[in-house]
Chains A and B, each alone.
Chain A
């Protein structure tokens, strides 16, 4: 067998498989040169093993520990996800809360009627035209009047509310009064209806199966009348 010095290294380190180990052992008995290599490698190994390690400076361990501590997930990284979860729960709760929804729709009512002409997507005095415009976009509308208490249907649009919901918003107005009908595509925690005030506006919330109707106006009387019209099935024929 010819010399295989790398396998001699493996032999010295006890890293060879049994058959190879036996082969190299047999070779070493015959080969003085490989025997010398094995002896020298053993000697080098022994000397290296005895070599005292370079000593670190005394403060290094503390520095390393401090370095790790700086990388520890801080309070914020633990608290932020908790805060986000709490906020999400709060938003969900608010989305079902009549009082919160009343405020959100009043805010939108004020915002839309702040303009000389409300920012409708469809301008029409025809209730069935507005109703089918919403129907074409997948929103089932209640039957609503074209005129109520001297107010005229002006138009409608989808409004993004502050809570992220997109709702149908129908505008009624005359020269100085404004009434909004909102169709919110979800039920609230509501018995059947709720009348309240928010930001100086009167609000009526009417619960339906999977919708909530919200009527908003400056005058409680106007809100009452539109709400009554919505509740009576004859509302659509009032023109």
Chain B
């Protein structure tokens, strides 16, 4: 079980430490899923799983990175469940189109749209590194991949994004 905490404190501690990170988790979830509903579900699921597994979190390590690994697993599970339905219902898109955010400027909007067109496997690495600024080690742990794979996903992700930025948006 790892470090034991009194169960009464557990919820308090988890809520106090993890809830302030919800904006960052939501932003990542939103960029991964491409829509509000799935993003909210994903964040909710991430917090519930995190709460249940909080005994296994090592205090002193990066809680945000730990939550991203949970979010990644929850997203993988959700995709696994949903994929067959999507094939029937609608064509699968690599990056679902983003609904434009009102406050975004033109260039930002272009960048957000281009990012949405990067395949999710690369987009996820890009978000964790370039937006959330996790280290290669933290990304490797969160996604359960070798550091070399983190590097190659980032290389591919940035290359695809650069290309997407040059292409006219659909």
- The stretch of A48-56, A137-145, A168-176, A208-216 in contact with B is A48-56
**Cβ of A56 and Cβ of B136 under 8 Å apart?**
no
Listed by A's residue number, 24 A-B pairs whose Cβ atoms lie within 8 Å are A5-B155, A6-B155, A8-B155, A9-B154, A9-B155, A15-B135, A47-B107, A49-B133, A51-B115, A51-B131, A52-B101, A53-B24, A53-B26, A53-B131, A54-B26, A54-B101, A57-B40, A60-B26, A61-B19, A67-B48, A68-B14, A68-B19, A68-B51, A71-B52
Residues of A within 8 A of B23 (CB): 53, 55-56
What is the CB-to-nearest-CB distance from B65 to chain A, in angstroms, rounded to a whole number? 15
Q: Which residues on A are within 8 Å of B, measured CB to CB?
A: 5-10, 13, 15, 40-41, 44-45, 47-57, 60-61, 63-65, 67-69, 71-73, 78
Known: A13-B151, A53-B26. 8 other contacts (CB 8 A): A13-B129, A15-B136, A45-B158, A47-B111, A52-B104, A54-B101, A61-B22, A64-B22
Residues of A within 8 A of B107 (CB): 47
Count residues on chain B whose CB falls below 8 Å from chain A CBs: 45
- A interface majority secondary structure: helix
Q: Which residue of B lies closest to A61 (CB)?
A: B22
What is the bound-complex CA distance between A47 and B164, given in angstroms?
14
What is the bound-complex CA distance between A64 and B148, given in angstroms?
35
**Cβ of B151 and Cβ of A6 under 8 Å apart?**
yes
Give the interface centre of A40, A54, A61 by most chain B CB atoms within 10 Å.
A54
Give the interface centre of A10, A55, A56, A57 by most chain B CB atoms within 10 Å.
A56
Give the interface centre of A40, A48, A63 by most chain B CB atoms within 10 Å.
A48
**Cβ of B112 and Cβ of A51 under 8 Å apart?**
yes
What is the CB-to-nearest-CB distance from A107 to chain B, in angstroms, rounded to a whole number? 41
What is the bound-complex CA distance between A49 and B107, given in angstroms?
14
What is the CB-to-nearest-CB distance from A60 to chain B, in angstroms, rounded to a whole number? 6
**Cβ of A44 and Cβ of B130 under 8 Å apart?**
yes
What is the CB-to-nearest-CB distance from A12 to chain B, in angstroms, rounded to a whole number? 9
**Cβ of B158 and Cβ of A54 under 8 Å apart?**
no
Q: Which residue of A lies closest to B161 (CB)?
A: A44
Q: 3 shortest A-B CB distances, which residue pairs?
A: A53-B27, A48-B130, A9-B155
How many contacts A-B (CB < 8 Å)?
103
Residues of A within 8 A of B112 (CB): 51
**Cβ of A73 and Cβ of B158 under 8 Å apart?**
no
What is the CB-to-nearest-CB distance from B19 to chain A, in angstroms, rounded to a whole number? 6
Residues of B within 8 A of A60 (CB): 22, 26, 40, 43
Residues of B within 8 A of A78 (CB): 7
What is the bound-complex CA distance between A55 and B24, given in angstroms?
9
Contact of A57 among B36, B126, B154 (CB under 8 A): B36
Residues of B within 8 A of A57 (CB): 36, 40
Q: A56-B22, A64-B44, A72-B11 are in contact. Are A48 and B115 (CB under 8 A)?
A: yes
Contact of A41 among B47, B101, B158 (CB under 8 A): B158
**Cβ of A56 and Cβ of B26 under 8 Å apart?**
yes
Residues of B within 8 A of A9 (CB): 151-152, 154-155, 158
Q: A56-B22, A60-B26 are in contact. Are A15 and B43 (CB under 8 A)?
A: no
What is the bound-complex CA distance between A69 and B47, given in angstroms?
11
Residues of A within 8 A of B11 (CB): 68-69, 71-72
What is the bound-complex CA distance between A60 and B60, given in angstroms?
27
Q: A44-B162, A48-B115, A64-B19 are in contact. Are A6 and B14 (CB under 8 A)?
A: no
B64 contacts partner chain A, Cβ-Cβ < 8 Å? no
**Cβ of A48 and Cβ of B111 under 8 Å apart?**
yes
What is the CB-to-nearest-CB distance from B131 to chain A, in angstroms, rounded to a whole number? 5
What is the bound-complex CA distance between A156 and B161, given in angstroms?
88
